[in-house]
């Protein structure tokens, strides 16, 4: 059994508690959050885990192989640094940190320490996204002409993520919270990408995150990548990623529903048949010193470079 400690028991922390609990080789031995009520209810729900309000106490006193860091982005750097100093393996939430400098420091520290340093980018374990990548690889769309990411939100922060940071300019916004997943996917499937032009709008309140972005980036061969993001829109939330090619088009709608069509034809839903692993299985492989398909802090750092070029 691998022993897991979790720092941050909010929305995503709770989601991954379920995944850790369901894995036969993982055991949550410690959890930490400064909100005592949340801490106590989580400890009660898990059963055997020890609760801590101070993560440093947890790192010193609990029996842990791997720490999962699920706190808001501006706390990642300090907390992950302290985990590295304690030689713990780490799974960190995206984005890796809250600036390029912080992200670079984390990936260098983790690499030097020789620990496992994984990122939680869940699209890597979605069969829709994996099948999209397989179709691209086998040439379904022909030569790539353009990538397009559309992110429209009727409300930001979304109803299910009402907290004190995700709507803030300091460490929130949909470009950071949603866009970074797609930056990582673009880099993984299509290679390096860099900013050419951007137009970002913010509300008058300088504490609030962006409400619009139009950006053009470029792949290494000059293929354009267009980002169209907006909040406070009519209708439903749209998160859609499209690859246009000389012979066809592939689209991931609602994050991972795969549609495709050859030029001139109507779109149809495509079978999402490419097999995928899970974050938990890959973490366990890494902990057993086996080969593992895990985005790491270097991937997190590379995504952060592009993210910050869009944010700043
Ligand atoms: N991978 C994904 O799909 C995904 C989805 C949502 C959020 N996230 C990321 O996960 C992180 C957390 O997001 P969330 O939506 O769960 O936020 P949240 O605000 O719901 O939860 C964060 C929790 O961290 C706790 N916390 C803050 N400082 C702490 C500290 N020093 N020690 C221990 N706990 C501390 C807070 O009390 C809170 O309970 C962010 O980086 C976010 O970008 C990732």
Nearest atom in ligand 1 to the alpha carbon of residue 13 is: 16
Atom from ligand 1 closest to the CA of residue 164: 19
Same domain, 157 and 248: yes
Q: Please check whether residues 92 and 228 belong to one and the same domain.
A: no
* Adjacent-strand bridge partners of 28: 4
Whether residues 67 and 43 fall in one domain: yes
302 lies in some domain: no
Same domain as 202, residue 222? yes
Residues 246 and 290 grouped into a single domain: no
Calculate how far, in angstroms, residue 238's C-alpha sits from the geometric centre of ligand 1: 23
Residue 96 belongs to a domain with what CATH number?
Answer: 3.40.50.720
Tell me whether residue 304 is in a domain.
Answer: no
Who's near 151: CB < 8 A, 6+ residues apart? 174, 175, 178, 179, 227, 228, 229, 230, 238, 239
| pLDDT tens-digit map of 256-274 | 999 999 999 999 999 998 9
> What's the mean pLDDT in 135-146?
98
Please determine, for residue 86, whether its predicted confidence score (pLDDT) is greater than 90.
Answer: yes
Q: Say whether both 84 and 7 belong to one domain.
A: yes
Span 286-297, mean pLDDT? 97
pLDDT of residue 312: 84
- CA of 28 from ligand 1 middle (Å) equals 17
∠281-122-51 over CA atoms, to 5°? 70
**Atom 6 of ligand 1, nearest CA residue:** 12
Distance CA 278, CA 204 (A): 42
In a domain, 176, yes or no: yes
User: Are 156 and 172 in a shared domain?
Assistant: yes
What's the mean per-residue pLDDT of the chain?
97
Report, as an integer, the average pLDDT of 116-125.
98
Protein residue whose Cα sits closest to atom 38 of ligand 1: 10
Nearest CA to ligand 1 atom 18: 10
Residue 106 falls inside a structural domain:
yes
Same domain, 290 and 239: no
To test the pocket of ligand 1, the residue of 74, 93, 165 to mutate (highest count of ligand atoms within 8 Å of its CB) is: 93
Backbone phi, then psi, for 175, in 5-degree steps? -65, -45
CATH of the domain at 238: 3.30.360.10
pLDDT confidence of residue 61: 97
Report pLDDT digits (tens) over 154-189: 999 999 889 999 999 999 999 999 999 999 999 999
Please determine, for residue 139, whether its predicted confidence score (pLDDT) is greater than 90: yes
**pTM summary value:** 0.97
Residue 240 located in a structural domain: yes
Residues with CB under 6 A from ligand 1: 7-13, 32-35, 38, 55, 70-73, 75, 93-94, 120, 122, 161, 163, 177
Distance 11 CA to ligand 1 centre (A): 7
**What is the mean predicted confidence (pLDDT) over 217-245?**
98
pLDDT in tens, 5-51: 999 999 999 999 999 999 999 999 999 999 999 999 999 999 989 99
Number of structural domains in the chain: 2
Cα-Cα-Cα-Cα dihedral of 240, 152, 181, 303, to 10°? 120
Q: What is the full DSSP assignment across 55-118? A: HHHHHHHS--SEEEE-S-GGGHHHHHHHHHHTT-EEEEESSS-SSHHHHHHHHHHHHHHT--EE
Q: Does residue 308 form part of some domain?
A: no
The percent of residues above 70 in pLDDT, for the chain, comes to 100
127 cis-preceded (ω within 30 degrees of 0)? no
Domain membership of residue 311 (yes or no) is no
Same domain? For 71 and 139 the reply is no
Q: Which residue range is the domain that position 16 belongs to?
A: 2-121+278-295
* 72 CA to centre of ligand 1 in angstroms: 4
Same domain, 132 and 267: yes
Does residue 213 sit in the same domain as residue 286?
Answer: no
* Same domain membership, residue 48 and residue 185: no
């Amino acid at each position: 059994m691998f022993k897991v400690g979790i720092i941050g028991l909010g929305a995503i922390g709770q989601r991954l508690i379920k995944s850790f609990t369901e894995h036969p080789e993982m055991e949550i031995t410690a959890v930490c959050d400064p909100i005592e009520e949340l801490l106590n209810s989580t400890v009660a729900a898990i059963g055997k885990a020890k609760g801590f309000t101070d993560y440093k106490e947890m790192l010193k006193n609990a029996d842990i192989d791997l720490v999962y860091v699920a706190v808001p982005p501006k706390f990642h750097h300090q907390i992950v640094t302290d985990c590295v100093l304690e030689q713990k393996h780490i799974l960190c939430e995206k984005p890796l940190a809250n600036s390029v400098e912080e992200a670079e420091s984390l990936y260098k520290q983790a690499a030097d320490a020789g620990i496992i340093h994984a990122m939680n980018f869940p699209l890597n374990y979605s069969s829709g996204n994996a099948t999209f990548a397989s179709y691209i690889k086998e040439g379904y769309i022909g030569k790539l002409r353009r990538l397009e990411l559309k992110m429209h939100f009727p409300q930001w922060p979304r109803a299910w993520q009402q907290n004190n940071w995700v709507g803030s300019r300091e460490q929130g916004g949909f470009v950071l919270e949603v866009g970074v997943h797609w930056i990582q996917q673009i880099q993984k499937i299509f290679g390096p990408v860099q900013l050419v032009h951007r137009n970002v709008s913010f509300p008058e309140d300088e504490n609030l995150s962006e409400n619009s972005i139009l950006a053009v980036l470029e792949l290494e061969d000059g293929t354009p990548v267009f980002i169209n993001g907006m909040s406070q829109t009519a209708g439903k939330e749209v998160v859609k990623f499209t690859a246009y090619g000389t012979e066809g088009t592939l689209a991931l709608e609602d994050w991972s529903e795969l549609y495709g069509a050859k030029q001139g034809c109507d779109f149809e839903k495509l079978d999402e048949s490419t097999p995928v692993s899970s974050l938990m299985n890959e973490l366990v492989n890494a902990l057993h010193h086996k080969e593992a398909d895990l985005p790491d802090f270097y991937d997190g750092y590379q995504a952060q470079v592009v993210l910050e070029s869009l944010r700043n």
